[in-house]
Amino acid sequence: MPLKLLIGNKAYSSWSLRPWILMTELGITFDEKVVPLFQDDTDRKIRKISPSGKVPALVDDGLVIWESLAIFEYLAERFPKKRIWPRKTAARAHARALCAEMHAGFTALRSHLPTNFRREVAARDIPEAVAADVTRIEAAWAKARKANGGKKPFLFGSFNAADAMFAPVVNRLHVYDVPVRKATRAYMDVMLALPSYQQWLEDAAAEPWVHAPYEL
C-alpha cells in the first residue's frame, strides 16, 4: 500500500506543506487526503486518522505518524537513500536544530502573518516582535548556507528537511512583502520556483474554501 498523507486544505495549512513538499521533491510516492480546515466537521474528520486532531499525519500500512518532525524522522528511517537530512554529522545536527527552532518558535511571525498561499502580494506593517523573528530567520538561513550550502541554492546544499520546514516561511515573507536581504530573497526565489511549490500554489488557488480571517 502507498503511504497516505493527511493534510489540511492547501490555501491555509502551513504544517501540511512541510512533509508534502519534502516527499514530493524527493520522489517519495504517496496518496494525499485533504480535509478542509475551519469547517464544522474538520475535527471529526481529522481525528478519524490523527490522534492529535491536527494535520499533517502520515499513514503507512496502518501505522500513523503525526507531527511534522516525527514524520521527517520516520521518512529518514523508511527511505535512508533519500537524504532527508544532510549526510555529515555536524550538518545533520545543525539542520535538526533549525527544524526544531522553527517547530517551536517564531510565534510573532506566525500569528501576525497568517498563512495564505493564494494571497496576492501586499505589504503589511511589521511590529518589532515580527521584525525580530525575521532577523533571526535571515541569520539562520545565511549561517546554514555559508557553513553547509556551498554554491548550491538550498540551506544545506541539496533540498532536504530543513528547506521543507521553512517552506511556509518563504510564503509568508513573500506574500506580505517583508523587506529582506538580497541573499534571503535569492533563496526565497529558488524555493518559490520549485515545481512542487508551484503545484501546491496551483492547488491552493483552485480550492473553494474560504476562511475570512486569513484573507486580509
**Contacts of the segment 72-78: beta carbons below 8 A, 24+ positions apart:** 72/18, 72/19, 72/22, 72/99, 72/161, 72/164, 72/165, 75/19, 75/22, 75/23, 75/28, 76/161
**What is d(CA 49, CA 55) in angstroms, rounded to the nearest whole number?**
9
Cα 74 to chain centroid distance, Å, stands at 17
CATH match for 89-198 among 3.10.580.10, 1.10.150.390, 3.30.460.10, 1.20.1050.10: 1.20.1050.10
d(CA 41, CA 167): 28
12-16, 87-91, 147-151: which has the minimum mean pLDDT?
147-151
> Quick one: pLDDT at residue 1?
79
pLDDT at 216: 78
Q: List alpha helices for 1-127, DSSP H.
A: 14-25, 42-47, 68-78, 89-104, 107-112
Q: What's the mean per-residue pLDDT of the chain?
A: 96
- Residue 124 is predicted with a pLDDT of 94
- The three grid cell numbers given for residue 118, joined into one nine-digit string: 493564494
Q: Is the pLDDT of residue 114 over 90?
A: yes
Residue 215 to residue 115: CA distance in whole angstroms: 9
Nearest to 204 by CA among 64, 8, 46, 27: 8
Cβ neighbors of 71 (< 8 A, separation 6 or more) are: 19, 56, 57, 58, 65
Per-domain boundaries in the chain? 3-82, 89-198
When pLDDT is cut at 50, 70 and 90, the band that residue 77 belongs to is very high
Buried-state track 54-80, b at ≥16 Cβ within 10 A, e below 16: bbbbbbbeeeebbbbbebbbbbbeeee
Q: Is the pLDDT of residue 148 over 90?
A: no
User: Quick one: fold of 3-82?
Assistant: Glutaredoxin (3.40.30)
How far apart, in Å, are the Cα atoms of 5 and each of 33, 116, 145, 170, 216? Answer: 6, 20, 30, 22, 29
Phi, psi of 151 (to 5 degrees): -90, 0
The pLDDT tens digits for 183-216 are 999 999 999 999 999 999 999 999 999 999 898 7
pLDDT of residue 52: 95
